[in-house]
Chains A and B, each alone.
Chain A
């Protein structure tokens, strides 16, 4: 009996034990979860931060590659096996890209991710924030950012799926470009009443009323390409809204004297010409702004203090050395240049905008030549003399691109100093002399600038829009030119003149593909054997990686 009681007791205690210890959930004590975040206005603001980080992440790289390196504005040739990278840059330049091109895939992913992040943040703030004016503004800002992502995506890929509700995981097929256009237009119009109208530090890097109007102006100017229907009067109205901001004084052109500084690492919210820009900061881990890495010549790192390069006590020739006596020689990669046809637009010697280019013989600030020391073979891979390793010193000379000396159809420039010194270089976003520890740059990058508004309005009038406020095409373009060149004002103007003015004004600002398509020049021949003239390439294919995650996507015509 005792035994049985004993056993029963044991089994009972065991079963109590089993029943008592089944609390499986572990409280989260170290992370931000929806239970504790976001709850305050400051937290709602920090929760919307990821959208801006998204925009910044690949704007100066992938997005630039798609918008600039597909045009005569810039190209990235190969140097023997260097920079082949699966022909991605060759395909962009020669208009032979496929749906497998990594840059084409990267651009889609970049913008889709920004849309997803915006959807998610809108959903979070809609759910958590109590109704208030700041909530309305916050939501309007996020919707405008999402509209920007859709605008960029529609511009590149044409027909894109309208995924606008977070949490809905059903797959959507692509919406036609006209439908995406209407969606962006209605989103912007709905947001404008809630967006802030001030400029300066408090709204810098964030969408304002006038950023939304600028985006609308861009949409309407390209409406023929996007929808088949012209909207030049709407474009003019949107431009007028921007020009009338703050009683007409909120935005202004930067004078000729400080034009170049507008793109320096020190630029920022005080600029009256920037309507919307991306504030890059060299210390942010995910601010991939390194134009100087691509654009500066390899032998110019020291002159432009690239990434902490300093000349120290050395004078010419310095390039042979790399350290000692204060010298630090961090070489930029420097593979990218412009085409000769694009550089040819900079034909007015009095134009301050010429100074964004590096071409011909290079000198130090004091005018003395920049000498480069190398070997005979290092200078010229085809050297056949008796002393390939013999020293060779030359003054750095950036030659026009021309055609490759390896053959008329070659995209390869070679693997010697001659190759690396080929092509005119752009230093509009000048190397960040303030950052000595990495190649990231502080230069903020504008998306919408006041000069673009003037040129857009001029073009809309020239293309048949009704002039307003007494502006004419000529008066608007001369307004701009007065701040850029000391040459006398134009007395007459053609549509083509507007195109070349845009080339000079908007270089390296991600608008050239858009301009070339609108002016019908995207199918021209230029650069290193770019001869393809397929008009279906005015939009990119839906990338393979996007179709892999959404089987309902339909490929664009031609691909």
Chain B
């Protein structure tokens, strides 16, 4: 360790020196014989080629073409000008006696020459043997989006992204099917080479490209953390000689597009009358309140501004940006304000042999949440429309006589829940060009996230009955309700917490690039050291305040000691932890005649989180590719302009869900016990220790074919994969007599995912004025649990996902079972209603229940489809006409089932006189006490097609002085959705162990209309 720091100190010292030495370089006089050369660069299709780099060969002099394709550079006769651009074939032109040049560049086969970020280096797409998808910023989803998952939704085959309607919840991202039942997690993010960086620090406008590493040959270089794929984000850089200032901004208007179809006062009154029932006069104040509307904003406005500056001199480049977003949530009170500032400087030294880079990003957010949001949503869904929001004396209306029944507006407006968080990422990179084609990199990075949280519940909460103020769990996960009433104390209660997480990373690697004759070798060896410290900080609470005015701002004025049973909330044990990850890795790429490509890599990963017997794991990978189009026998054919066959196999690891202490025996407070007259803390083991805890491993075989036909008008990529996870990490159930608590983290079962992915890009029309490009991607995945054998027991046939519907405790929805996928539904089989309108079900023996006799939970259950989609489709179209462009993005999910537990719970007709129900339950009788039982009746087809985004833009390219480009656009998100699904939205979380459950899902779906402008100077 010490050595690296010394090295970096040395490097920094050098850096300071260079700052003093540099100015003379900039004012270097023109060498004799040089003169100013001017010209215009055009694209072969016509029109100016903007942003093409013009370099005088074998000098450091370079510039870039401006808005008209014009450039100006000093050179002398005999010099060679090199014209290079991202989407053009590089061209060299010798300087003659002429002073004015017009250069036409041909567009390159864009995809093939793309540079792909592969982890500890870059590669050109044509020489890849692994499966990597690159998404350019122009292809990212548009909208008032502050989450990277949503930016990528539908863009990459095999990446199954489900976004929640709730803007404060990140999207669930699953790559190529859940590879583990242990929190099938999100991919690993690497931002500008900083592994594990927080994706919330990146403003979407600052993204230069996103590379999604999918197969093991690509990801294994990130070893243990790559089990769920790797997403590499590269931010924008400055370019030499090209000073650019740009502004991007938008205003978004969000409105509710779909919400629950609950009964209004008239409908519910008619329903009760038809069922010989009536409201209680305590509730019935002849109002007609739409409670969902009451907790929503009619319009939520968001606006985003991004100013970026970039440029570069001969020996340095810089890029800086500042981004501000202010986003209102659709629910009242909720919102997010965030400022992100970013600075990136690269500078060369020692005759350009050394390149230093400094990246600093700071993201500062202020998030305002709906206090007790889940309770508020549930109460808004259940509250009777005949009750008013407020009494005539303008106090909030409440009828606490009905159990678990509270005014949602009173809950929101008498509490606050805010978090300020700040993430700082600093990175310092050094790249040293050594002789013999060697390059040495040292990257140091530091990431710190701090949070400052405050919650306040005013004295109004004192009126809520503490014995039935239940927490409402998050949608989709089905954890049991918890009683939160007794946390509130009396006369207002406040909670504050502040925590910080830090990650320090040191990575160094040596690269050797060598080309001799037909052989090209690229070899990397390296070392990585990561130390994470999390949960450093504290939490505290107080209650019994003299007034509600202070909120959570002054805990000192409370008197918690005045409330006999109140306990100051210091948070939970095991919050703080430190982990270390040390890895050595190597990769060798060999390329013969650009025709046969071979790649091999290995990474040895050590982690402090594992059992002392298994700290290290090895993750090897190989990749082979054959560029068939380069073969002699292909010379004559004109069909294929590109044809490549790829094969790869590799192993990656997973340690998600494993914390610093998971494998260790740790004692914690298990409660208090009576000891000699007082209640004392009892300390007991919090978990079973497992010194054999080790990496979960996923081995992936991938076969891929890339081809391009019709002179590049149609290109396609097909990948087929087989993914086997073994030594699956899981919190296995064991006999509590052997391990107190009955659960232990251990390695056990296995899971298989097989799938096929297809990506097609075509340009059906390309005339001078009009072009149409279309990209379709499709993915199919088949997930099967192949074993659930735990350490000393079998986890097979465990029922889970228990939404705790009324009278339905333990009525689980899903089953973990070998031979079935994760998310297998296992529930009652609905048999329709009998003559008196009572819902009936099939029993296990095939007979039917009768009357009000209820079927057995667990015993009368049947398999009933699963939550995993058969096909995911994304279809993107770009149409350009003159200065207009139109982008239409359509997304589809097919063949999945959704358990609509929300509909079941809101069809609880027996309580309809006290709780609102859905319009769809109108045909169920109040006497039907079994109508809301979770059963096949509430399993629905989850397929849908959504017009996700349509953006129309107009580009002003010429004509305004000093302005190189103006783009104005209007964009609509979620224009329409075609589905048979009866819930708010068929996009139900696919992540986690319990996918596809629509439960407590009351958050309204929204539609956003956006107006934006991009200006470059």
Contact = CB atoms under 8 A, between A and B. Distances in A.
A binds B: yes
Interface of A: 3, 6-7, 10-11, 13-14, 16-18, 20-26, 28-34, 37-38, 43, 45-50, 52-53, 56, 78, 80-88, 98, 100, 102, 109, 112-113, 115-117, 119-121, 161, 163, 168-171, 201-202, 204-205, 269, 279, 281-287, 293, 306-308, 319-323, 328-333, 374-375, 377-378, 384, 388-389, 391, 406, 410, 412, 415, 434-440, 544-546, 548-551
B852 A330 contact: no
B875 interface: no
A204 B674 contact: yes
B792 A113 contact: no
Given A21-B582, A117-B740, A378-B280, A98 B856 contact: yes
A53 B672 CA distance: 7
A146 B673 CA distance: 17
9 contacts: A20-B3, A24-B616, A28-B666, A47-B667, A163-B738, A205-B674, A307-B466, A328-B465, A437-B490
Contact of B793 (A21, A25, A548): A548
Contacts of A45: 675, 680
Interface in B849-865: 852, 854, 856-859
B630 to A, nearest CB: 34
B677 A269 contact: yes
B742 A332 contact: no
Given A112-B735, A438-B466, A201 B677 contact: yes
Interface string B534-568: 00000000000000000000000000000111110
Contacts of B857: 86-87, 100, 102
A174 B574 CA distance: 36
Given A388-B278, A415-B910, A438 B435 contact: no
A461 to B, nearest CB: 35
Contacts of B531: 26
Interface in B1-30: 1-4, 7
Interface stretch (B131-139, B149-157, B344-352, B801-809): B801-809
Nearest to B579: A26
A331 B769 CA distance: 74
A283 B567 contact: yes
B793 A33 contact: no
B666 A21 contact: no
A143 to B, nearest CB: 15
A184 to B, nearest CB: 15
A48 B684 CA distance: 8
Interface string B791-829: 111111110000000111111000000000000000000
A7 B434 contact: yes
Contacts of A269: 677
B960 interface: no
A389 B273 CA distance: 11
B313 interface: no
B97 interface: no
A202 B674 CA distance: 10
A387 to B, nearest CB: 9
A115 to B, nearest CB: 5
Interface string B962-981: 00000000000000000000
Nearest to A49: B682
Contacts of B667: 31-33, 37-38, 47
A548 B398 contact: no
**Among the interface residues B284, B573, B795, B807, which one has the most CB atoms of the partner chain A within 10 A?**
B807
A284 B679 contact: yes
Given A85-B810, A375-B280, A202 B676 contact: yes
A86 B809 contact: yes
A10 B466 contact: no
A170 B792 CA distance: 8
Contacts of B606: 22, 24
Contacts of A204: 674, 677
A24 to B, nearest CB: 4
A167 B462 CA distance: 48
Interface of B: 1-4, 7, 276-282, 284, 398-401, 403, 434-436, 438, 440, 463, 465-468, 483, 485-486, 488-490, 506, 508, 510, 525, 527, 529, 531, 563-567, 573-574, 576-580, 582, 584, 606-608, 615-616, 660-661, 664-668, 670-677, 679-685, 733-742, 791-798, 806-811, 852, 854, 856-859, 908, 910-911, 913, 929-930, 932
A368 to B, nearest CB: 21
A119 B529 CA distance: 41
In the A-B complex, the 10 residue pairs with the closest CB atoms: A49-B682, A50-B684, A86-B857, A438-B486, A113-B736, A279-B674, A32-B667, A388-B278, A49-B673, A322-B400
Contacts of A168: 738
B684 A121 contact: yes
Given A33-B666, A322-B400, 12 more contacts: A17-B3, A24-B615, A52-B674, A116-B735, A201-B677, A284-B671, A285-B671, A323-B398, A329-B401, A333-B403, A437-B563, A548-B793
A107 to B, nearest CB: 12
Given A31-B573, A169-B738, A549 B682 contact: no
A53 B508 contact: no
B578 A26 contact: yes
Contact of B735 (A29, A81, A415, A546): A546
B807 A100 contact: no
Nearest to A31: B666
Nearest to B812: A86
A307 to B, nearest CB: 4
Contacts of A323: 398, 400, 463
B683 A32 contact: yes
B565 A438 contact: yes
Contacts of A87: 854, 856-857
Contact of B467 (A171, A439, A550): A439
Contact of A549 (B398, B672, B733): B733
A320 B401 contact: yes
**Among the interface residues B401, B465, B661, which one has the most CB atoms of the partner chain A within 10 A?**
B465
A316 to B, nearest CB: 16
A24 B3 contact: no
Contacts of B798: 548
Given A332-B467, A548-B797, A16 B3 contact: yes
B513 to A, nearest CB: 14
A377 B563 contact: no
B677 A116 contact: no
Contacts of A320: 282, 401
Contacts of B742: 109, 112-113, 116, 549
**Among the interface residues A7, A116, A331, A406, which one has the most CB atoms of the partner chain B within 10 A?**
A116
Given A10-B440, A50-B682, A322 B661 contact: no
Given A322-B398, A549-B742, A116 B737 contact: yes
A281 B463 CA distance: 24
Contact of A100 (B736, B858, B913): B858
B929 A17 contact: no
A161 B737 CA distance: 9
Nearest to B792: A169
A21 B1 contact: yes
**Among the interface residues A17, A81, A307, which one has the most CB atoms of the partner chain B within 10 A?**
A81
A18 B734 CA distance: 41
B736 A109 contact: yes
Contacts of B506: 21
A249 B852 CA distance: 57
Contacts of B670: 49-50, 53, 286
Contacts of B578: 26, 29
A507 B642 CA distance: 86
B664 A33 contact: yes
B514 to A, nearest CB: 13
Contacts of B672: 49, 53, 281, 284
Contacts of B734: 169, 549
Given A30-B577, A323-B400, A388 B276 contact: yes
A406 B851 CA distance: 12
